[in-house]
């Protein structure tokens, strides 16, 4: 079967540092190639990256439409494939394919449903699917994000609290929480900040001034956008990993949480139902509050992690390995293949 996997052109695929959608698009293409599919990836490619399959090389996008380069994929291109798997935000290729009689699977990585019109739509968690269906009125299947954690290893834990994520996902709120927690806890704590602080992340000068002030007040180690090696080092050392401290912000999946679990670092964020889905009764089995968490719950679990680090989270991360999630792709491909052509 000839399959076109479409990534976003907002970032390169695979991403140079961090980019969840682009990483998943790359891993899905790699899995399908390794399992006998004739795969082509449409993406803004990364120089020096490994591409054992065909590639439609697209230029990186720019504002105001970061995915405009996807329009370079022609009707003739689309008709040369049996199936389109579209991971992009706009799903313009998947929609075009369906209108041309080529079956398409559109994987939604954003909370709010984008354009509809693919043969089938998929959310990346059950919590996401429920929200998607309530807003869009369209049924969504579930294919979890596949996360390659082969470069992550748990190591001897230190009293490190690690932030992972774009600074506009609530970093200022997290640093304020850290400041309050440290005043109550009294013990040794080292906050570390890793996450995109570039123009692409929507950062502004006033926000960075506030972050700088809070970093100084909490004695945090600030990296911002950094390399993968630094991230995996601190994941291995941190007793807990945090993200999504922004009121009203909902994670549809949370790659950071899977990477934290792979390192035996407990993933914590307020008001995120998806953590309950990822950890399948883990918190209840420990006699701890279960997601969605309040800030008080996060403080309690953090204290527990500092006093006695969690050492049994890695098996939960294995559920999202490419070789596991890839089977879901194959199952859904078989279902799509059996549908009558439009």
Domain ranges (residues) in the chain: 2-146+321-338, 158-318
End-to-end CA distance of the chain: 18
**Pick from 6, 106, 52, 2: which is nearest to 332 by CA?**
106
- pTM (2 decimals)? 0.93
> What is the structure's pLDDT at 63?
87
CA distance 63 to 67: 9
> What is the structure's pLDDT at 202?
64
CA distance 239 to 174: 16
Whether 270 contacts 292, CB under 8 Å: yes
36-70: pLDDT as tens digits: 999 999 999 999 999 999 999 999 999 899 999 99
CA distance 112 to 172: 24
In the Cβ-directed half-sphere of 113, how many Cα atoms lie within 13 Å?
Answer: 21
> What is the structure's pLDDT at 200?
62
Low-confidence spans in the chain with pLDDT less than 50? none
> What is the structure's pLDDT at 196?
78
Q: ∠192-145-86 over CA atoms, to 5°?
A: 125
Strand partners, 293: 270
Q: What is the CATH number of domain 158-318?
A: 3.40.50.2000
Q: Could you tell me which CATH class the domain 2-146+321-338 is placed in?
A: alpha beta
> What is the structure's pLDDT at 186?
86
**Pick from 301, 17, 330: which is nearest to 166 by CA?**
17
Whether 234 contacts 192, CB under 8 Å: yes
Asked, colleague to colleague, whether 2-146+321-338 and 158-318 share their fold, the answer is yes
Give Cα 8 distance to the centre of its chain: 14
């Amino acid at each position: 079967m000839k399959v076109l996997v479409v990534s976003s052109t907002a970032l390169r695929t695979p991403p140079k540092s961090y980019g969840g959608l682009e990483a998943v698009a790359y891993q899905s293409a790699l899995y399908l190639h390794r399992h006998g599919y004739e795969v082509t990836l449409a993406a803004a490619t990364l120089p020096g990256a490994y591409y054992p399959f065909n590639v439609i090389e697209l230029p990186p996008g720019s504002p105001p439409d970061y995915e405009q380069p996807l329009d370079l994929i022609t009707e003739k291109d689309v008709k040369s494939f049996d199936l389109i798997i579209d991971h992009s935000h706009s799903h313009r290729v998947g929609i075009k394919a369906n209108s041309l009689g080529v079956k398409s699977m559109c994987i939604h990585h954003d909370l709010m449903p984008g354009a509809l019109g693919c043969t089938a739509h998929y959310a990346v968690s059950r919590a996401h699917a429920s929200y998607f269906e309530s807003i869009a009125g369209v049924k969504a299947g579930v294919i979890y994000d596949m996360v390659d954690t082969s470069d992550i290893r748990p190591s001897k834990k230190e009293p490190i609290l690690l932030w992972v994520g774009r600074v506009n996902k609530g970093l200022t709120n997290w640093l304020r929480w850290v400041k309050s927690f440290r005043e109550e806890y009294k013990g040794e704590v080292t906050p570390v900040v890793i996450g995109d602080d570039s123009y692409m992340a929507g950062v502004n000068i006033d926000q960075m001034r506030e972050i700088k002030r809070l970093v100084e007040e909490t004695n945090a180690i600030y990296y911002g956008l950094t390399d993968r090696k630094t991230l995996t080092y601190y994941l291995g050392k941190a007793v807990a990993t945090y993200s999504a401290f922004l009121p009203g912000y909902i994670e549809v999946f949370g790659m950071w949480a899977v990477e934290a679990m792979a390192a035996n670092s407990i993933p914590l964020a307020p008001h995120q139902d998806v953590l309950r889905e990822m950890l399948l009764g883990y918190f209840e089995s420990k006699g701890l509050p279960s997601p969605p968490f309040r800030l008080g719950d996060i403080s309690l679990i953090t204290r527990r992690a500092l006093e006695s680090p969690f050492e049994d989270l890695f098996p939960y991360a294995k559920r999202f390995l490419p070789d596991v999630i890839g089977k879901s792709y194959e199952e859904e491909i078989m279902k799509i293949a059996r549908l009558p052509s439009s």
